[in-house]
Each structure stands twice: as structure tokens, then as C-alpha cells.
Structure 1
């Protein structure tokens, strides 16, 4: 099969013929129709981000395709089924605290390196081998919509955060960092789950205005100035009432003050979920956290059952994939796809490689 191969960090991708993946028990082979290209893929493949991957490998975290072959333990999947390939692979030998990797992207920690070496090849190839539990049926879709369904991976991240927060219909939600790809998806997901109001924070006024245009008055935009106390007061003024839940999705370049501005605005007995990329301590006041009985939860990715539930939200029209602008590239043009994704990052955009 043809694949894009990273042979060393900061080396050009090689488009070449590699052996077809071999099916094992507990695994599925999928013919890849489309795979999303992350905006920061170039930083990963250059080694700049320091992700735990070991070249050579085929990059590509998740995608959409059709089942080519299933192992003997699959009881519902059938050859030809349209499926979403979830890159969030968990070790099977420790149910209480499994190691997690993102197939084709990174191990979560040193424990997961051996798992990453086995499932290291991702979806920038004509075929991919994935664990059976990581294949989610999509139902019938048009082949031309495969790239749009890749956006599922973006929506699933904040969905995992809201599930961790036990978001309830009618609650007031704050999405911190709402103008990026994951944050804007978080606004859409919160509304789809029935949030009464969504406070959307960000520094880009145009992007905030666009969220209101897309989703209406349940979105309450808050333009941040990176003055912690002033930003917190702006959040509280925009809120229609107590803030029940905060989901932080700020990127690595953000500051601890930007996180605290939102976190400390949550009501007593409220919930805060951290899913962003901040690389520093945030300095939450111990006494405030204790006396207000606030739940602070770290969440990486999402539980397995979230995928089927998110597909259900899309099928019901509660989360709309037609909001997504898609740009497609052939596998031979994988390098151009990486450059395009970096230059065109932002809300409701997908750059996809379509083998």
C-alpha cells in the first residue's frame, strides 16, 4: 500500500509503498478514506513539540474509512462498513489506570511507549490497523462526506470534557479559549447537549462575533484582555447567572492568569475541567477551592462510549457537521496538507488527507 512515512524528526515525509498491515486478533483493518491534519502537525513531525513517538512511522491520528477485514472477536462490524477510527488507544492489561496513546501521534507517557511502538502507524496511508474497540460505525454516509466526518475527532475532545463535568441541560457553561478549533467545537457541543447559555472567551473579537452569528443569543461572547481580574469581572457581567461549569481549552501559549480568570469565576459547588495545553502551574488558591467545594478535574481525550454518543448528536442534528469547511489533499500532497493546516487553523475548518 502507499503511505506517508516519517523516517526521522524534521525530515521530509516520504511517500512510498510499504507492506499492508497484518490483521491480528482484537484488530480491524480499515481502508482509509480521509484523515484530519492537525494545525500543529508540522511541529510534531519536526520534533519541536517533543511528542513521544519513535520514527519511522506513518503519521495520522484517526480518520474515516471502510472496514476491509475484522478479527474473529468482532461480532457486529462487517466488511464495507463506514467507520470512525479513534486514535485514543488504551492498554488492555490495566483497567484501572490504562496507558493511553494517540495512534500515529504520541504516547501519553513513558509507560505507553511499547504500546505506541506497536500501534504507531496512523492513517496517512491507504490502510490502517486499529484495535477493534477503536472502530465506531458511522452508518451510511456519502463517500464525499468522509473528510467532513473527520471533524468528529475535534468535537469529541470537548465532549469528553463535558461528560467529565457531568454537564446538565439548562446549565450555564464557560468555554475558556472558545476561538480556537477545539474551543469553538466546545461551544457547539455544549449547545447540542442543552446548555442554557455558553460564555465564550477569547481575544479574537471577529471569531467571537462569528460564534454568535452561527449559534445565536445563547452564546455570550467575552473578549479577554489578559488582565486576570478585569477578565474575570467581564465574565461575571456576561453571565446570566451563576456559572455551573468551566471547560478550559487554552493552548500552550496561554498564561496561568488566563486559566485562573475563568476557573475562579465558577460558582460554589461548580465544576472545572482542564483539557488545554498549558505547560505551567496555574496556582489555584487552596482555601477557595476547599471552602467552595469546587471540583477540579483533569481530562485527556474522552471515554470510549463518547464516540457513539457524539455520532448520535450529529445524526440528530444537535451538532451540525455542515458548519465545517473542508479542504482535501491527496496522499501524494501530504506535505502541502501540513502547510495548509498550519496556515488555515481556526474554528470549523478541516484539512484532510484523502488516500
Structure 2
């Protein structure tokens, strides 16, 4: 597959409203050691993209930049040290790039960089997947079994673009070491990542309680994911009272004994919400918490209870490579379902030149099972 001299890409030049993001002709990168050039087939559009690109949500990134997210691609060209990747191969690329000389430092390609890791975005890995082609590190590219997923299982390329959403909660669930038969509470459960966490916890064999305030969304989720995964899903509508919600959550847990784990995907506005305390109070002794949300303020936790119950509270930013390998294996084995059977609908597939419509559609469909993609 020969590379063109130039290709089309969205370029964000400043943070402003109206958006300063335009489709431009840009040079096509060449593969260097440790990289591959990918032809983008379908790229996930994040629901908060418009707020980030306008500056409403302050994400540190270096401009100008081609933004991006996880994407389904074909390998167009590989660097000289690629061993198994080959041109024409169907792959998925993820954006959590780690410094090779210090894996504790990372960026989100085309989206987020701060501290010493900014060098990764400033030089080698600035531009993301909202383009016809993207350069990515070899270790961020995962082959997909096209014959199995497309020809046998019947998934579309856009169906596969839900995998990057599932990657995020998979990182937290692997940290929690969830085993079949354990109990997990997910809150808030009705957003994109919260719904994906419910999906993945069920696929891992857990008994799951999905908690949130949107009762209609909870019912929709239960109607799809419950029967799909052996009716191990229960929902709880939160009312915003710590004691009442704690009691309702405990009552919904297996035997009323509480949960083994709690995974949190709170949005930025939820710093003062009571659900975090309620979910922590509903844990068993030795229970675990994974905080993966977007809150930017300090939160209140029930300190004496955490100590007395020997609870473990940890944060998780994105995921480790092993979690993605496990996720893809589960999808290819048919354990994790994708597409309409799993309640996931591609509500919009947009060309790059339709950027404002795509960003608006993503913002309007931020709940469980709603997917918007770019198809360059």
C-alpha cells in the first residue's frame, strides 16, 4: 500500500467558540523505527470533544494539532523494526502513549499532554486519528481477526470502533481483579464509560449493580445487557441521599451483604454528589474502589469506614497493555458482544468535513450505547 504525499486531516489551531478546527491538506508521515502508518477507517468521536476544542474544558495540548481518539485502521506502512504487523492488516489503535524510557509518563495522542510527557506530543506523537492517516507507536497497535469478527460474527468496521470505549473501564476492572461471581457496583452507570463498565463487568462474570439517576437509561441498559449476560444485572435509581442510597445499594447486592468492588466514572460536575460516599459505604470488608472519572476537585470519603473495613481506594488513568490484549481476546472469542445485540448503536458516521455536525452529535448522544464516528 503506497503512501500519498499529502492527506486530509482536521487541524485545531486555537481554543475558541466558534471552533477553530478545519480540514486541511497535511504531509503524510513516513514510518520510522518503532512506528507504523495507518489508514483510518473509523475513529471514535468523544462526547466531550466540542467542549475540549472550544476551551470550555481545559485540556493541555500543543497547537496546532490534529485531534484524535481510538480508531479502527488498516496498516499502510510499517517501520523497519516491525516484526508481525504487515500492510493491509486490520488493526485497532489506542491513544495512551507511554514514554519508552519512562513508562510512568504518558500522553493521549491528539488530546492530552502535561509535564515531562509533553515532549512526546511536541515532537514525535502530536497528531491523532481525525485524519485519513495517522502515525502510531507499534505497541499501541493491536491486530484484529478480520475473518472472525467481520465475516463470521458479522460486525461492521463501525461496530469495532466501540472497542476503544470498552478499553477504559477494562483498565479499572483489571486493577480490581474482578473474578466470576464477584459483585460490582458501577456508578454513575448511564454515561458512555459507565455503561461500558457495566458491559465489561458482566462479561467478566460479575454480578453487577448499575446505579444512577436516569431511570429510563437504567431500564434500557437492563433490558439489553441483563438477558445478554445471564440476568446478572440489577439497577438502582439513586435519589441523592447518602443513607437512602446506601441502603438501596446494599439491598441490591448479593444477599444484602455489600459489594466486592466499586468502579466510578463521575463527570466533572459530580464533586459534591453523594453517590461516591454511598457506594463506598455499600462495600464489604476488604472491598476495592477504582476512581476513573473526570472530577477535578477534592471529594469527601467516609474515612473511619475505609479504615475499619480495610477498603482499598485507587485511581486508574486509562489502562495497561495487558487489559487491551485480554479485551480483544474476549471479543474475538464471543464473550464480549458488540453492536446492536449489545445495545450499541452508531447514531452518526461523519466525513471529516462534517466536523461540527459530528461533534454536536457526540455531545447530544453521550449516554450508554450511543456511538459517533468519523469515517475519513
Classify the secondary structure of the residue corresponding to 2:335. Answer: coil
Classify the secondary structure of the residue corresponding to 2:66. Answer: coil
Alignment of 1:299-314 (within 5 A): 299-314=316-331
CA distance in 2, matches of 1:127, 1:291: 53
Kept after mapping to 2: 8 A contact 1:169/1:193: yes
Instruction: Tell me how far 1:285 sits from its aligned partner.
Output: 3.3
Alignment of 1:137-286 (within 5 A): 137-140=143-146, 141-142=149-150, 145-195=156-206, 197-216=207-226, 217-241=231-255, 242-254=258-270, 255-286=272-303
Pick from 73, 84, 88: which aligns with 1:76?
84
Q: Does 1:22 align with 2:44?
A: no
Alignment of 1:29-108 (within 5 A): 29-95=37-103, 98-107=104-113
Instruction: Tell me how far 1:256 sits from its aligned partner.
Output: 4.5
Greater shift in the superposed pair: 182-191 or 256-265:
256-265
Kept after mapping to 1: 8 A contact 2:221/2:368: no
Pick from 11, 31, 40: which aligns with 1:5?
11
Kept after mapping to 1: 8 A contact 2:285/2:311: yes
Mark the runs of 5 or more structure 1 residues left unpaired by the alignment.
none
CA distance in 1, matches of 2:336, 2:370: 15
Classify the secondary structure of the residue corresponding to 2:197. Answer: helix
Q: Does 1:317 align with 2:331?
A: no
Classify the secondary structure of the residue corresponding to 1:342. Answer: helix
CA distance in 1, matches of 2:107, 2:157: 24
Instruction: Tell me how far 1:142 sits from its aligned partner.
Output: 4.1
Q: 1:206 to 1:104 in 2, by over 3 A?
A: same
2:136 paired residue number? 130
- Show CA shifts across 1:127-159 (max 9, x none): 000111000001215498222211111111111
Instruction: Tell me how far 1:257 sits from its aligned partner.
Output: 2.2
1:116 paired residue number? 121
2:3 paired residue number? none
Kept after mapping to 2: 8 A contact 1:256/1:281: no
Give every structure 1 segment of 4 or more consecutive aligned residues whose post-TM-superposition deviation is greater than 6 Å.
none
Greater shift in the superposed pair: 37-46 or 235-244:
235-244
Classify the secondary structure of the residue corresponding to 1:78. Answer: coil
CA distance in 2, matches of 1:61, 1:70: 20
CA distance in 1, matches of 2:268, 2:58: 13
Kept after mapping to 1: 8 A contact 2:208/2:234: yes
Pick from 332, 337, 360: which aligns with 1:339?
360
- Show CA shifts across 1:177-201 (max 9, x none): 1111111111111110011x20110
TM-score by length of 2: 0.90
CA distance in 1, matches of 2:262, 2:364: 29
Instruction: Give the number of aligned pairs.
Output: 351
